[in-house]
Amino acid sequence: MTSNNANYIRYDNRGVAELNIMGASYGPGGEGARIAYISVPCEIGLILIGATAQGICWLGIHQCTAFLESELRRDFPNAEIVRDDAALQELSSSVVQLLVNPTPSLDLRIDVRATPFQLAVWRELCAIPPGTTRSYSEIARRIKRPNASRAVGHANGANPIAILIPCHRAVGADGSLTGYRWGLEYKRRLLNYERLLTGRSTN
């Protein structure tokens, strides 16, 4: 395993993020990790945040905490997982604030695993301004893999920290909403909410 002291996601005042991942502090399936989590309400549903001592490792959105807890445990079957609201209260407030103000200047420590291809795709997702979208094929072109639209979709779906790495901003070639782990209704809500806050059209 590689230390992830240099792992972060850093948002500028346009809401565009710089993503750096040097390696996670845990092995496959969360081996060796102790993950604390908290579930908090926000404007578009419930979010569950999981974090190691090194940073955020998981974020999901749904209407049911029990479902989110089961998804967290499914993704990290080899980790010790405990609820710890007190330890994560301040961190969760920062994440919720990011939803309310999608154009902050904010640094968050993260602790996630990524292949080089996934990292390339996730960096392109982070470069999409709030309230706007890009197609999977456009993302593929931007990472100089023009024939890899399907692989881009798979990398998009493997994103473990929804909203923070904004996979909801990736759409089909015709602009249709496709392929969101947490359901297309949440993808629609996120995009419409961002467009409302940033003054971009919802058409």
How many Å apart are CA 115 and CA 119, to the nearest integer? 6
* Alpha carbon distances (Å) from 180 to 94, 117, 187: 24, 19, 7
How many Å apart are CA 56 and CA 138, to the nearest integer? 28
Active site residue 167: yes
Phi, psi of 150 (to 5 degrees): -65, -40
What is the largest distance, in Å, between two alpha-carbon atoms of the chain?
46
194 and 186 in contact (C-beta within 8 Å)? no
β-bridge pairing 80-83 and 55-62 = unpaired
* Residue 179: count of CB within 10 angstroms of its CB: 15
How many Å apart are CA 10 and CA 170, to the nearest integer? 20
> Of 42, 57, 64, 167, which residue is the catalytic one?
167
69 and 37 in contact (C-beta within 8 Å)? yes
Residues with a known catalytic role: 167
